[in-house]
Structure 1
Amino acid sequence: MITRGTHSRATTSGGSVVQDDRGSLGKDLFGGCTILIIGVVLCLVFALGGVGVIFYQSGQDGAPGGIVADTDFDPEDLGGSAARQPCEIPGAPFGAGNVTALTCASHQVILAEFSDLVRDGNCHRAGSGGYGDEHPLGQACDYMIITGGQMPGSNSPEKANGDQIAAFARDNYEELGVLYVIWWNKIWNPRSYQSDTPDLPLNQWRLYADGQYTNNPTLGHYDHPHISFCGAISPSGQDSARPCP
């Protein structure tokens, strides 16, 4: 005998009444589904709320929420000295040469994060040594993300690599003692060094050198992010020290 539905019979004084168990089963299913739906809704609320907090926190200064630098030094302690010392990093794309203690420490942190993205570069080299040219002071590094003189495409992997390095330096400017960052023909610095100019907003990238190097891959800093570190003093003494932000 094939049974298509299950039901029971109850007898009353007025006769027999057929009670279909599917009714009670439907009620149980409805109740269970209601509880399940409420649970799913609550989980979604909590999940979306958490995601919202993450996006809110990472976007507070307009930053992409970069990696937090793992440092074991205080830039204010290291940034006060202009003395240069050898800083060679075995196995890295390039050593820093003779640089300040802060530049060496920060350079090591940056390469620890991005050595696989950097093709070449330099830190110490000849130049004027004034504000805007900290290389001769051993207080700036260039991180080449493509062969020097080549222009990366705006949607290229090299451009994305440079974006990561520049964002890392900016997001961790206090931990690394960053004076300013130049990348993709724009410059970012966390403070102004002119007494009549207020500190700049932390999410502000400005056109570099008034855009005069727009078509130059190297001078426009399209082929490498440039990072200068605090404490720079020119050899002639004309520039005052730039304290760490």
Structure 2
Amino acid sequence: MTAPLRRRIPTAAALAAVAALLAGFVVASPAAAQDPDDEGAPPLLSEVLESTGRGFVEAKAAVDESRKRQLKLNLELEKVEERIAALTPQIGQVASNSYRLGRITPVMVLLNSADPDALLERAEGLDMIAMHDNKRIRQLNEAREQAARAVAAIDAEVAREEQQLEAMARQKKEAEKALQLVGAVATNGFVSATSPVAAQAPRNSDGSWPSQSCSLDDPTTSGCITPRTMHALNEAKKAGFTRFVSCFRPGGPFEHPKGRACDFSAQQQGFGGDAFGDDRLYGNNLTAFLVRNADKLGILYVIWYRQFWSPTTGWSSYSGAGGDPNSDHTNHVHLSLL
């Protein structure tokens, strides 16, 4: 499959393209608007990335949130235990006061009735001590109840985490089994610790990813994209990746028609042949940026130069595609989001 030739466009369209370029991305011309692939990899591989990846990411989000709650609960438990340790010696003093001073009874009142003023003074003093002692006993009991609740909550979170970790393990096993069928081989992929850090895309209060529709105008085509895809585009632009991009495509399966996928050309204009030199370095750097920020952007998988990355499996190579720059992803980086 050869890359489509770019044709001349009228002056008005050219001005629109220039304006879009200044905004950060090149808008696809009619000749280049068609996405260069159908997810690009073998169909089975694409299905695996879609089904296992989504379940894995959702389970991982639940694990991360559970661990945050466990940390918070453990800190709360530590404070409560410190409070119990501080109150326990005071309860010993309460017992000592009770033994030494006793409590006000009718007998005490009768025995001291000859000196009403002294009796009243003693009664007030004993009453104040009793109130103070009762308060400390109540505080200790409340602290112990709070500690018990914290321990129960931690146990529940640990059980929830273990359940989600089992779900992640199942998804990973299914993905690895399918990868063997398409001849995928684990690789080191494209990773860089110096890649820019992206801003966090919005999540639900429980850490999960909100369901989103294709509700925003796609700045790269005449179609639509989700808010999360728009966020990823903007973060890529902020990081300096402003070459040709095409996102929405009306036909085909998987993420493009849902506004949850984009193809980033390694070249300045359109999708050409294999990327070499500066173009390939651009693709390497973009891929490394996306993978480093996958958890912040809500990425389902990334494909570049006959290799793909998903949170389920990490980096792997693949074979069995079309043998051309489009399906082998040697001229563009494919991004799919949740």
State the one-letter code of the partner of 2:251: G
Question: 1:150–1:172: structure 2 CA closer, same or farther, 3 Å change rule?
Answer: same
Q: CA deviation at 1:187?
A: 0.8
**Counterpart position of 1:121:** 245
Specify the SS of the correspondent of 2:237. helix
Specify the SS of the correspondent of 1:225. strand
Task: Provide the TM-score with structure 1 as the length reference.
Answer: 0.53
Residues 1-245 of structure 1: matches in 2 within 5 Å? 63-75=191-203, 79-89=209-219, 94=220, 97-116=223-242, 118=243, 120-129=244-253, 133-146=254-267, 147-153=270-276, 156-191=277-312, 200=313, 204-208=314-318, 210-213=319-322, 215-230=323-338
Q: CA deviation at 1:86?
A: 2.2
Question: 1:126–1:172: structure 2 CA closer, same or farther, 3 Å change rule?
Answer: same
Q: Cα deviations across residues 19-63 of structure 1 (Å, max 9, x unaligned)?
A: xxxxxxxxxxxxxxxxxxxxxxxxxxxxxxxxxxxxxxxxxx983
State the one-letter code of the partner of 1:83: S
**Counterpart position of 2:140:** none
State the one-letter code of the partner of 1:135: H
Please identify which structure carries the higher strand content: 1
Specify the SS of the correspondent of 2:239. helix
How many residues in Structure 1 have an aligned counterpart in Structure 2?
147
Please identify which structure carries the higher helix content: 2
Specify the SS of the correspondent of 2:301. strand
Question: 1:207–1:70: structure 2 CA closer, same or farther, 3 Å change rule?
Answer: closer
State the one-letter code of the partner of 2:288: A
Mind listing any 5+ residue stretches in structure 2 that lack a counterpart? 1-188
CA distance in 2, matches of 1:106, 1:175: 9
Tell me, yes or no, if the aligned pair for 1:96 and 1:104 is still in contact at 8 Å.
Answer: no
Tell me, yes or no, if the aligned pair for 1:78 and 1:101 is still in contact at 8 Å.
Answer: no
Tell me, yes or no, if the aligned pair for 2:200 and 2:296 is still in contact at 8 Å.
Answer: no
Aligned alpha-carbon RMSD (Å): 2.7
Mind listing any 5+ residue stretches in structure 1 that lack a counterpart? 1-60, 192-199, 231-245
